[in-house]
Structure 1
């Protein structure tokens, strides 16, 4: 099938490459010529395991190409995916200007029947607005030659390629039998494992994405709140977590205490759903609490550092391991590291940081305000304490004797609870964690 994917961010690049991998001919469209030139030369602007090889292979096979000519891409495609950003507005709502701009351009380019797919995370009712914009801008003979479908993505950064090639479910929101049939044909190669395609009305599909992400956000905030109670009463959150996660009704995913969630999805989607609830005169106290708890986890961690140093960290040098909001990505959007590092800098601390993949991203965030180390151990030179902020695998089993010998104050602040207290204390390290 011939497909165009408009937007080459995390979602657009991954789904475009994966559709090409399944034998489709895919044009990825973007208006950023610098990014397109990099992609055409095999330089992938994001880090996602497996993505670089997938893109290079399908470009070589001439199934995947990159272009800034949206009109041409639309004219040559049967299915047009809208995968542009929907950043958070000042009031917490999703900023839809990029989606609507693309819809207008698609309308002007229509030259026959198309399935227009909202892949971006969008508020309920967006498909109706997109259809209206396309129809308004289309030539008279093509005003009814399209259907708009909602097909939300459920990709985890760090495992997005695997999630795209082997989805646990595919949600298709459609009011058109013709469009639904085409979408089933597109996804047929993905369904050999028997995972379901769930068809529903468009508004329900739009709501499903926000509901799923918000549920996971609530789950993360729940375990963080339990961890904080455990700390007060003397219980061990690791033991409590294992005790409740073994219940099949609860499960163990997204049930790890720490600094809370970050990234481009959970913070934005939680606030967008809160905004939708507000616009429709609905109270959503649980989600408000989850959002508040999430931010407070960062403040709590900062407070642990300050308390240890008797509220005087001016001149202290901290080694930071991990800057990305989670492992296996270079994405720092809404990363806890940003809040924590900025707070410590404001109080006069010096930061030496290292991340396996997010160093270039960090330079765009912090500029020259922090020191960029060449390795995890390089951060420890002439450093008072270690702060673990992202649980990359390479940080899980370091040489703790070496860490102890390099740290002046022999203390580790673990924001992800990945270390064993007794093991560290046996090696002469002080250990401060969540819960």
Structure 2
């Protein structure tokens, strides 16, 4: 089957590459000449483990290509996926559908034969009916269907998620569209992965409800972590204890500096906005949004306490700026709240991240970038772990403590323990939801 994929961002590129690996003929379209040229050279514009190799494999097999020409991409295609951005609109928190509707109109003007127009982008409930209206208005004679096919990809594990999904959600209005979508996902159906077929509105809502629920789990355990700190409980033990309950599950119960990324902040705001528009406020979701921002500010207070009440004149090393490991994505990352607070307080900030520097240099002016954790901590007054990259999980803490001006560690991902820090020679250690420790410095060897 021939498929056209409009948009070569995270969702569009991963989906297009994986569909081609299913055996489909996939043409990915973008308006950015530089991005298309990069892809044609065999390079990907995002960091996603395994994506570049899989892309090159399918290009060489003749199943995957890239173009600026939408008309050529659509010609002969049975399905056209819209995978463009839906950023949060300034002022009202709603998803901006400008790019989605523009793509729908272009498809209508160029298409000649029957096709299914599939919305892959995350869109508010009712959007696919708007897409249908837009297409019908632009080309009343076109024979087409619309379908909603939201993505559930985790950055850093997107290929695994696409090839071995928990479920595939398909919203359709006709048997004909359902058959086309079934053919597209036939490789997954044959391996008994769940294909959930719904109406358009339910498919759209599933995406928002899923992300809001996961954001709620993260925010809940972060609130419990704050309570643990006040009462002497250990949030890691609490998370383990409640996560063993099959009704709760152990995923997304890791305390930290708050959620970020491309999905949870945007989708929770959009869901809250949908509720406001229909006169039914999403009170839990609205609270989650507010509490998550408060958690980031609480992390700043932790760091301030470790710095004896002032960042001014302190040298602070930061490990990790992306919102999670195995991605270069910094959208709504806790680092974008915490690091500016350090700089604003007069600190000199030294940063390292395996993949975050390209975006981080523009988003975090004023920081000094270094190659690794050891250079970040050299002569520092405080070391902060913000992202749990694997290379930060087995550091030589004794070496780091020896080289710091004052060995203090803020472990905001709970990678280490107070016991680890004490043995390494740190004079202060702070984590999230667990007891801190302080002791008077006894001097450092060079």
Shorter-chain TM band: over 0.9
Cα distance per residue 1:331-357 (max 9 Å; x no partner):
001111111001111111111101111
Aligned length: 431
Superposed counterparts of 1:109-258, under 5 Å: 109-138=110-139, 140-142=140-142, 145-258=143-256
1:402 aligned partner = 399
Deviation, structure 1 residue 273? 0.2
1:49 aligned partner = 49
CA distance in 2, matches of 1:7, 1:141: 26
CA distance in 1, matches of 2:189, 2:49: 22
CA distance in 2, matches of 1:408, 1:248: 47
Deviation, structure 1 residue 85? 0.3
Give yes or no for the alignment of 1:73 onto 2:57: no
- Aligned to 2:407, the other structure's residue is in SS state strand
> What's the TM-score, normalizing by structure 2?
0.95
Deviation, structure 1 residue 167? 1.1
- Aligned to 1:66, the other structure's residue is in SS state strand
Contact 2:379 / 2:406 at 8 angstroms: preserved in 1?
Answer: no
2:380 aligned partner = 383
Cα distance per residue 1:81-107 (max 9 Å; x no partner):
000000001211000000011011001
CA distance in 2, matches of 1:132, 1:317: 57
CA distance in 1, matches of 2:76, 2:198: 28
Q: Which runs of 5 or more structure 1 residues have no equivalent in the other structure? A: none
Deviation, structure 1 residue 141? 3.3
CA distance in 2, matches of 1:267, 1:245: 24
Superposition misfits of 4+ residues, deviation over 4 angstroms: none
Match of 2:420 among 409, 423, 433: 423
Deviation, structure 1 residue 423? 1.8
Give yes or no for the alignment of 1:105 onto 2:114: no
Superposed counterparts of 1:287-306, under 5 Å: 287-306=285-304
CA distance in 2, matches of 1:297, 1:381: 28
> What's the TM-score, normalizing by structure 1?
0.98
CA distance in 2, matches of 1:236, 1:165: 37
- Aligned to 1:141, the other structure's residue is in SS state coil
CA distance in 2, matches of 1:387, 1:36: 38
CA distance in 1, matches of 2:324, 2:225: 20
CA distance in 2, matches of 1:269, 1:319: 32
